[in-house]
Amino acid sequence: MYRDRYIAHLASEEFIDRQKAAARVVASGQATQSRANAELRPFMRLACDLDADLPWIRDEVAGLREPVPVVYGQWADPGERLARMWLADDLCPRPAVVTALTKARDRALQRAEAEPARWPRASRLIALAWAYDCQPYASVAPPPLQRAAA
């Protein structure tokens, strides 16, 4: 789990922007609600993993923090960290988040190169991808190792 307030804020902004975009797509009839929710799930987990402070996360974590039995007659509060991990695991597998975030970052960079007004969004996705340990952008990735000629 990540504990950086700036990154958490960026994750909140990205989730909220994607949630609004999903609502517009559903309202226009271009996608069903279930399809929009499925595409939003990786970014829900991203927000949860990066400690975004969103109302739905607070509510879910509060429900998961109910005391759990440890041994006969003793109860323990799992704590916020553990509750967030449980919630994140229920939302989406981590590899799906890495894939979705990497694709979103790469698309945002390509769009920003063509239209400079899109750089703030691309910068946000670059920071989130870095914080989530995604693969580097293809243009800055090191070249593959070459085998020595025999």
Residue 150 lies in a domain: no
Rounded CA-CA distance 7/61 in Å is 19
Residue 42 lies in a domain: yes
β strands within the chain, DSSP E = 68-71, 74-76
Residue 124 lies in a domain: yes
Q: What is the pLDDT of residues 12-66, one digit of tens each?
A: 999 999 999 999 999 999 999 999 999 999 999 999 999 888 989 888 888 877 7
Q: How many structural domains comprise the chain?
A: 1
Position 2 pLDDT exceeds 70: no
Q: What is the pLDDT of residues 63-88, one digit of tens each?
A: 877 776 666 767 666 778 888 888 88
Residue 142 lies in a domain: no
Residue 139 lies in a domain: no
Do 21 and 13 contact (CB within 8 A), yes or no?
Answer: no
Residue 9 lies in a domain: yes
**The model's pTM:** 0.79
Q: Say how many C-beta atoms besides its own lie within 10 A of residue 20's C-beta.
A: 10
Residue 148 lies in a domain: no
Q: How confident is the model at residue 149 (pLDDT cuts 50, 70, 90)?
A: low
Range of the domain at 103: 5-68+75-131
